[in-house]
């Protein structure tokens, strides 16, 4: 869908090291997250604008990274999430499925690589 060169650098486009020149989707990495790691990651996505109430609902439902990709707007609404957060989460999930991650070797500067490493996405990987 979108090419790597036309996509602006955002937390959702953060790269994680993969073997060789293989690429994986951001979804593949998020699926490995337990509930606490998923909540922490979602809270870091400022464009989601998740309120404390929305975060508590997601924690109460004990969603992990794999569960995130099975969510529907209807289900999110049925557990009490507002329309706005539900729509943003569903859109975010779709973008994660489509987003390919780059290998470390594709970064041109230490600064670019440092920004990725500082994102905290490498913990537990």
Predicted confidence (pLDDT) per residue in 72-83, tens digit: 999 999 999 999
Compute the average pLDDT of residues 50-61.
Answer: 95
- Provide Rg for the chain, Cα atoms: 15
Looking at residue 108, its pLDDT comes to: 64
Question: Which tops the pLDDT comparison, 16 or 114?
Answer: 114
Q: Predicted confidence band at 18 (pLDDT cuts at 50, 70, 90)?
A: very low
Which domains does the chain show, CATH number per domain?
A: 24-102 (1.10.150.50)
Query: Tokens at residue 86, please?
Result: 């539900």
The Cα–Cα gap between 73 and 120 comes to 28
Contact present, 110 and 117 (Cβ < 8 Å): no
Q: Which residue has the higher pLDDT, 112 or 29?
A: 29
Position 43 confidence tier, pLDDT thresholds 50, 70, 90? very high
Tally of CA atoms within 13 A in the half-sphere of 106 that contains its CB: 17
Question: What pTM was computed for the model?
Answer: 0.62
């Amino acid at each position: 869908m979108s090419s790597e060169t036309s996509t602006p650098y955002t937390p959702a486009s953060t790269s994680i090291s993969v073997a060789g020149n293989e690429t994986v989707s951001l979804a593949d990495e998020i699926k490995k997250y337990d509930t606490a790691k998923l909540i922490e990651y979602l809270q870091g996505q400022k464009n989601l604008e998740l309120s404390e109430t929305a975060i508590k609902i997601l924690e109460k439902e004990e969603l992990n990274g794999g569960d995130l990709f099975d969510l529907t707007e209807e289900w999110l609404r049925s557990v009490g999430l507002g329309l706005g957060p539900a729509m943003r989460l569903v859109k975010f999930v779709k973008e994660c499925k489509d987003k390919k991650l780059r290998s470390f070797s594709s970064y041109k500067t230490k600064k670019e690589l440092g920004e990725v490493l500082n994102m905290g996405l490498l913990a537990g990987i």
